[in-house]
């Protein structure tokens, strides 16, 4: 649905140059929820604004649904933009319009007749669960409800692509979850491709099929979320488990501290006891957790293995062969 080729964006201001994006290439498959993860200043907003050309790239190509859009005429570009909806952190609703009036806005601009607008608005409000708020004003809504209005408005013209600019950053965790659930439902029901930018790992865990990680304007990694979680040494894994690593645990001289990952496997498999039984090692469980990532159960376990180096090595190989991608965090 989207392909960025060698995208670079340089801002020049008061004789100063900021390279916001440097040679970014990335592909967003149709029908996916694709996350761009990065800290503040990484270039996420610039990237998403290059996808709808609110920002012109300094160099590189932007392909959307098979067309290179940096070369389109203004009229062609307007047509392409109608196929993209966008939602924002600060919702960007019109305070003086009701909920229905906000959702109707893009349809009015597109010149739809009143009767069709009313039908479409009713349909969209039902989709986002706000039928009973049609006559309310934004000031009377919670943050989550405001974002639902934003989503309904973004979907009004039936876009192929939804761009989300930190849409849940201003919301509390429970509301974030319910808005992300709604995005997932819309993605499934309408087959809509969603590109979202976020600095929140929770968003990636809960809703993204794939992710690209942006650091200081450069793409450091991209791929399917579960595949990256299962890959030793991946940047996503590092970011996910940074807090997990910092245990202050003192590894004994004959020991190694190992992280194990159970992606979509039964955590009931007695893997640790079979390691202890089959190899001359002891296992000391330091930390463990189970969570849902991209709709799959992911277990992680931090365990200290102690024994002769060759036995520990054999145990690690055994764990590797069992598909739990052991990663040595620390050696004693
Ligand atoms: P993020 O969305 O990840 O926080 P941004 O894309 O907003 O990052 O910004 C990336 C870099 O580009 C930052 O250093 C920012 O200061 C700079 N930048 C963004 N927009 C402009 C602009 N219009 N003029 C000058 N510099 C900008």
Tens-of-pLDDT digits for all 332 residues of the chain? Answer: 999 999 999 999 889 999 999 999 999 999 999 999 999 999 999 999 999 999 999 999 999 999 999 999 999 999 899 899 999 999 999 999 999 999 999 999 999 999 999 999 999 999 999 999 999 999 999 999 999 999 999 999 999 999 999 999 999 999 999 999 999 999 999 999 999 999 999 999 999 999 999 999 999 999 999 999 888 889 998 888 776 666 677 888 889 999 888 887 655 568 888 899 999 999 999 888 888 888 888 888 889 999 999 999 999 999 998 888 888 888 88
Rounded Cα distance between 22 and 7, Å, is 7
In CATH, the number for domain 2-229 is: 3.40.50.300
pLDDT at residue 230 in the model: 84
Closest protein CA for atom 20 of ligand 1 = 46
In CATH, the number for domain 235-331 is: 3.30.70.260
Pocket test for ligand 1, best of 9, 11, 88, 216 (most atoms within 8 A of CB): 11
Report how far ligand 1's centroid is from the alpha carbon of 145 (Å).
Answer: 29
Q: How many CA atoms are closer than 13 Å to the CA of 228, on its beta-carbon side?
A: 24
pLDDT at residue 85 in the model: 95
Residue ranges of alpha helices (H) inside the chain are: 44-51, 74-81, 99-109, 114-127, 143-155, 173-190, 201-207, 225-229, 235-245, 271-278, 309-321
Report how far ligand 1's centroid is from the alpha carbon of 41 (Å).
Answer: 6
pLDDT at residue 162 in the model: 97
Q: What is the CA radius of gyration of the chain?
A: 24
Pocket test for ligand 1, best of 43, 51, 164, 196 (most atoms within 8 A of CB): 43
pTM (2 decimals)? 0.89
Report how far ligand 1's centroid is from the alpha carbon of 47 (Å).
Answer: 10
Report how far ligand 1's centroid is from the alpha carbon of 213 (Å).
Answer: 16
pLDDT at residue 300 in the model: 86
Closest protein CA for atom 21 of ligand 1 = 11
Rounded Cα distance between 102 and 112, Å, is 15
pLDDT at residue 291 in the model: 86
Report how far ligand 1's centroid is from the alpha carbon of 312 (Å).
Answer: 48
Closest protein CA for atom 16 of ligand 1 = 41
Residue spans of the domains in the chain: they are 2-229, 235-331
Calculate the CA dihedral of residues 140, 145, 150, 155 and round it to 10 degrees. Answer: -130
Question: What residues does ligand 1 touch, defined as CB less than 6 Å away?
Answer: 11, 13, 18, 20, 38, 40-46
pLDDT at residue 243 in the model: 61
Report how far ligand 1's centroid is from the alpha carbon of 87 (Å).
Answer: 19
Nearest atom within ligand 1 for CA of residue 42: 3
| Residue 283 near residue 304 (C-beta atoms within 8 A) | yes
């Amino acid at each position: 649905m989207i392909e960025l080729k060698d995208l670079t964006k340089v801002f020049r201001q008061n004789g100063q140059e900021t390279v916001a994006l440097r040679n970014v290439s990335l592909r967003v498959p149709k029908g996916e929820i694709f996350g761009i993860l990065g800290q503040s200043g990484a270039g996420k907003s610039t990237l998403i604004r290059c996808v709808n050309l609110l920002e012109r790239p300094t160099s590189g190509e932007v392909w959307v649904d098979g067309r290179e859009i940096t070369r389109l005429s203004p009229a062609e570009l307007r047509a392409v933009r109608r196929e993209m909806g966008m939602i924002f952190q600060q919702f960007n609703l019109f305070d003086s319009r009701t909920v229905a009036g906000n959702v109707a806005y893009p349809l009015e601009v597109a010149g739809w007749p009143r009767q069709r607008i009313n039908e479409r608005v009713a349909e969209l409000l039902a989709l986002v669960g706000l039928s009973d708020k049609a006559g309310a004003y934004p000031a009377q809504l919670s943050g989550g409800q405001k974002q639902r209005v934003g989503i309904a408005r973004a979907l009004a013209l039936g876009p192929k692509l939804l761009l989300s600019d930190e849409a849940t950053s201003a919301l509390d965790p429970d509301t974030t979850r319910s808005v992300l659930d709604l995005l997932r439902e819309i993605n499934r029901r309408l087959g809509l491709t969603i590109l979202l930018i976020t600095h929140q790992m929770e968003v990636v865990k809960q809703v993204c099929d794939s992710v690209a990680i942006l650091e200081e304007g450069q793409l450091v990694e991209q791929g399917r979320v579960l595949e990256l979680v299962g890959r030793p040494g991946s940047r996503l894994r590092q970011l996910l488990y940074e807090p997990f690593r910092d245990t202050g645990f003192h590894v004994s001289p004959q020991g190694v501290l190992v992280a194990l990952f159970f992606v979509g496997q039964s955590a009931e498999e007695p893997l640790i006891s079979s390691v202890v039984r089959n190899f001359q090692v002891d296992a000391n469980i330091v930390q463990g957790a189970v969570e849902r990532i991209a709709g799959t159960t992911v277990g992680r376990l931090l365990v200290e293995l102690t024994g002769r180096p060759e036995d520990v090595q054999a145990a690690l190989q055994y764990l590797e062969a069992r598909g739990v991608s052991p990663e040595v965090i620390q050696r004693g």
